[in-house]
Structure 1
Amino acid sequence: MRVSPLTLGTITFGGDHGMEYFGHVDVDGAVDLLSRAKDAGINLVDTANFYSTGVAEEVLGKALASSRSFDDLLVTSKVGMVIGDGPNDGGQSRWHILDQVDRTLRRLGRDHLDLYYLHEWDGQTPLEETLQTMDQLVRSGKIRYYGVSNYTSWQLMKVLMTCERNGFIKPVSQQIYHTPQARDAEYEMIPAAIDQGLGSQVWSPLGMGLLTGKYRRGQDPQSPARMVDGPGTDVIVTDRENLYDTVDTLDEVASAHGASVAQVTLAWLLTRPGITNLVVGARTTAQWEDSLGAVDLTLTDEEISRIAGVSAPAVRYPFWHQVDLASDRLSAADRSIIGTTAGQLG
């Protein structure tokens, strides 16, 4: 399935049930965002049953129904997060997946999902049960493809092994958290996807707002803001000085292009090995318009390297050992470990 470089994320739709700090995009606002997405050639919209406990899907469904021009937009949703107080209101059991896919389709007003993500790892439900259910959903036509989200590389490989062993249809993509400042996925998640032929779709590529330029030394945004009213930066960022250094570098590059910090962040991610697509949410049409500008922004090799260098993570074992003693035996997936061993790989 071919997708545009950017996907419109809908976590800002609705703003209810404990997710008020993400945004309050209503149906009219959603129609505006979808219209601009269509005009810009965006062909994919991302949502989840977890977003405002279904309200985001309801808002999206009403917006999609407002115009036949939206009929050819691809839609992805997710299942697995806890969305109620009942013992079966979360996880990846057959019961929960089948119950939730029907609810999602009713809210969206569609008869199928183009891509359906297992939103979180479930270490208690037998993996064969989960993957057989996804296999059946693809074969029935309720979903066209499926993927995994927030899985470690060993969990992803276990999924693929289980599918191979049982003849199940395999996932085609992973959705991961990855930014110029938060680069844990480079160690194994992205190389694993490259090696196995899966796409990697990035959620919150602007670091939940941290890489928009609003967060500087001594200059955090006021409420309402996701990282002020939500989980807080201490949960996401362990090194604030590196965050500020990264934003400063992004700002310098942005100034050279007459662009925004957000645009440079997105443009840089689109240059990274294995990255297929970025999911970008917006509270307003102006924010969405700014993000769309990243697609036409071309960074120089020097600028790409500068951004990579300011936030380069430490070289972990066994990568330094492989580079030292087996550099002539590394694959393209091995060499994608950017920011860790890439500088030594030449």
Structure 2
Amino acid sequence: MQYVQLGQSGLKVSRLCLGTMNMGSKQWKPWIFDEKESEPIIAHALDHGVNFIDLADFYSQGEGERVVCNVLNRIGKRDDLVITTKVGYAMSDNINDTGHSRKHIMKSIDASLTRMNMDYVDIYMLHFYDVHTPIEETMLAMHDIVKAGKARYIGVSTMYTWQLAKILQVCERYNLVKPINMQLQLNCAYREEEREMIPFCMDQGLGISVFSPLARGLLANDFQSTRNKTDFFTAEMYSDKTSLEIAHSVSSIAQLRNCSSAQIAQAWVLNKPEVSSMLVGADTKEQFDSALQALNMQLSSDEIFELERNYTPCDLINDYTAGKRIPREARSR
């Protein structure tokens, strides 16, 4: 395993981060693993040096935190782990049980720690940017959570670059704890964050953790998986001709390399020097091993050209464009 310093913090994390959206309760989604099914995957990741674990209270409506941390508390060493969880999405029908108000954030950190059976989380993350709550209120609440010892650091995820700039400006103005990490979506078929967000994070000293390196399974060329057949977002985000052409390029290089398509797509992400850590939402030990092999794979300039030549700009993927994105047309040759 390789380890890096996360942004300008002193925190060191594994370059592979265990994504856990697929762990929790099948009542939430049909492709979710229960605790018994999740344990072998978690154990395999820990055995291979992963110390970075990504959670969110929204995953399985809290059951994901409980399931994963039941396993971690049983087989792991808390002090060796860097555990992050996220807050923001609705946890019930209660009008105040969503977003980034002080009320919801304070309630949510206590609820998460109770489910996790832990005293603190290493990184407490905003799952998105709440446009309905003053950012000063949100960041003061996050600051107080760190000062209370319930989180060691804070982080952010999936927003516009101007929104991150506003967060940093507020933290600077009021001398609040600043986020150390931005979690964003990046893969061969979705590269819009390379325009502004990634350069801005580099300039401001934030680490970058990447989710969906396989474009929700498209780049693994696994079109018949339970998730791909039942996840509406896969079709919304990656059903256009350009995405399919990029998937074909990934498959072509994988055949020449005699490896899996997933390994090539993951190597493309990990070859980016700006990327601190890549989330791996593995369903099997073999899928995790693919990411581990990708960690040491160097792509040639010709291979990178093939993976990138079909890319066409598209609408950003975030909460604010959900259901409104215009399918992109393939770039004319």
Please give the residue correspondences for 1:168-317 in structure 2 after superposition, counting only pairs within 5 Å: 168-214=176-222, 220-221=223-224, 224-225=226-227, 227-237=228-238, 239=240, 241-313=241-313
Cα distance in 1 for residues equivalent to 2:144 and 2:293:
40
1:182 partner amino acid: Y
Change beyond 3 A, Cα 1:138–1:49? same
Q: CA deviation at 1:68?
A: 4.3
Q: TM-score, normalised by structure 2?
A: 0.86
1:151 counterpart residue number: 159
Cα distance in 1 for residues equivalent to 2:237 and 2:76:
40
Retained in 1: the 8 A contact 2:155–2:181?
A: yes
Q: Which runs of 5+ in 2 are unaligned?
A: 1-10, 315-333
Cα distance in 2 for residues equivalent to 1:253 and 1:183:
19
Retained in 1: the 8 A contact 2:24–2:68?
A: no
Q: Deviations over 1:53-99 (max 9, x none)?
A: 00111101210122244652211100001111001110001111111
1:134 counterpart residue number: 142
Change beyond 3 A, Cα 1:115–1:48? same
- SS of the aligned residue for 1:45 comes to strand
Q: CA deviation at 1:313?
A: 3.3
Retained in 1: the 8 A contact 2:43–2:75?
A: no
Retained in 2: the 8 A contact 1:64–1:71?
A: no
Q: Deviations over 1:137-182 (max 9, x none)?
A: 1122211111111111000000000101111011111111111001
1:75 partner amino acid: I
1:40 counterpart residue number: 48
Q: CA deviation at 1:294?
A: 1.4
Cα distance in 1 for residues equivalent to 2:79 and 2:35:
16
Change beyond 3 A, Cα 1:183–1:267? same
1:114 counterpart residue number: 122
1:42 partner amino acid: V
1:15 aligns with 2:18: no
1:89 aligns with 2:97: yes
Q: Which structure has greater helix proportion? A: 1
Q: CA deviation at 1:229?
A: 0.8
- SS of the aligned residue for 1:259 comes to coil
Q: Deviations over 1:242-269 (max 9, x none)?
A: 1221112111221232221111111111
- What is the aligned-residue RMSD (CA, Å)? 1.7
- SS of the aligned residue for 2:242 comes to helix
Q: CA deviation at 1:274?
A: 1.9
Cα distance in 1 for residues equivalent to 2:257 and 2:13:
27
1:3 counterpart residue number: 13
The percentage of counterpart residues that share the same residue type is 36
Cα distance in 2 for residues equivalent to 1:229 and 1:68:
33
Q: CA deviation at 1:48?
A: 0.4
1:166 counterpart residue number: 174
Q: CA deviation at 1:211?
A: 1.0
Question: Number of paired residues?
Answer: 304
2:88 partner amino acid: G
- SS of the aligned residue for 1:66 comes to helix
Retained in 2: the 8 A contact 1:82–1:90?
A: yes
1:105 aligns with 2:108: no
Larger Rg: 1
Change beyond 3 A, Cα 1:24–1:237? closer
1:293 partner amino acid: Q
> Which of 75, 91, 111 is the aligned partner of 1:67?
75
Cα distance in 2 for residues equivalent to 1:141 and 1:281:
29
- SS of the aligned residue for 1:25 comes to coil
Q: CA deviation at 1:238?
A: 5.8
Q: TM-score, normalised by structure 1?
A: 0.83
1:221 partner amino acid: Q
Cα distance in 1 for residues equivalent to 2:69 and 2:50:
17
Retained in 1: the 8 A contact 2:88–2:99?
A: yes
Cα distance in 2 for residues equivalent to 1:89 and 1:16:
22
Q: Deviations over 1:198-243 (max 9, x none)?
A: 11111121111111122xxxxx426x22x3212154411362x212
